[in-house]
Amino acid sequence: MKHIVILTGAGMSAESGLKTFRDSNGLWEGHDVMEVASPIGFSKNPELVLNFYNQRRRQLLEVQPNSAHYTLAELEHNYKVSIVTQNVDDLHERAGSTNVLHLHGELFKVRSTYNETDIQEWKKDLVLGDLCNKGYQLRPHIVWFGEAVPTIEKAIRICETADILIIIGTSMQVYPAASLVHYVTKDTKTFFIDPNPSINSESNLTVIPETATVGVKKLFKKL
């Protein structure tokens, strides 16, 4: 059974109605990224950071997977499928994908500020005073700027075994995620789905200049 590895980013979830919270001026809901998505920001103003992610979490509860999520889940009938996502939503899982690795954490999980392996499911607001069982404040289970990506080694091992690589809704400009394309073999068939692609098709690379829902439908016919 061929192994398909799928790398997904914000463009994958945009058509589900999930706002990309980075504004055109680079601010996140009017905040500098370091204020709401860094350990320094959290130590300076934890309430602001918790509120920022509470808004993200509430929004995620209101949206549904789109047709592209469901189509990728269907691939599991005929292929071994591994999804490596930069997204912190659970839309791949809700659509039925069973093998999803999150590079940047998950919105519906929180963890202890004392022990990063103490992780729990969390779908309500997280506030100051919500503590782990050892009495330490809980924080979003999100990889913030300046923090290591704990799942990157596993992601590299997955990419090394890809027969087909599909990249959807991500420019692959953010490291270390961007480095993953270098771990597939040269003869790996690669598909790149993005409405505004920065690259052109070449021998083993097929560029599909479409949104996720349209592009995945077209891709399905090419596999």
Q: Could you give the residue numbers annotated as active site?
A: 104
Looking only at the bridges linking them, the beta strands covering 80-85 and 105-112 are unpaired
**196: phi then psi, degrees, rounded to nearest 5:** -130, 70
pLDDT band for 25, please (50, 70, 90 cuts).
Answer: low
CATH code reported for the domain at 19-62+110-142: 3.30.1600.10
Say which residues have a Cβ less than 8 Å from residue 35's Cβ, sequence separation at least 6.
28, 41, 44, 45, 48, 49
Question: What's the chain's average pLDDT?
Answer: 92
Q: Which CATH number fits domain 1-18+65-104+147-223: 3.40.50.720, 2.60.40.10, 3.40.50.1220, 3.40.50.80?
A: 3.40.50.1220
pLDDT of residue 79: 97
pLDDT tens digits along 106-121: 999 999 999 999 999 9
Residue 26 pLDDT > 60, yes or no? no
What does the domain layout of the chain look like in residue ranges? 1-18+65-104+147-223, 19-62+110-142
pLDDT tens digits along 161-191: 999 999 999 876 766 667 898 889 888 999 9
Average pLDDT over residues 67-78: 97
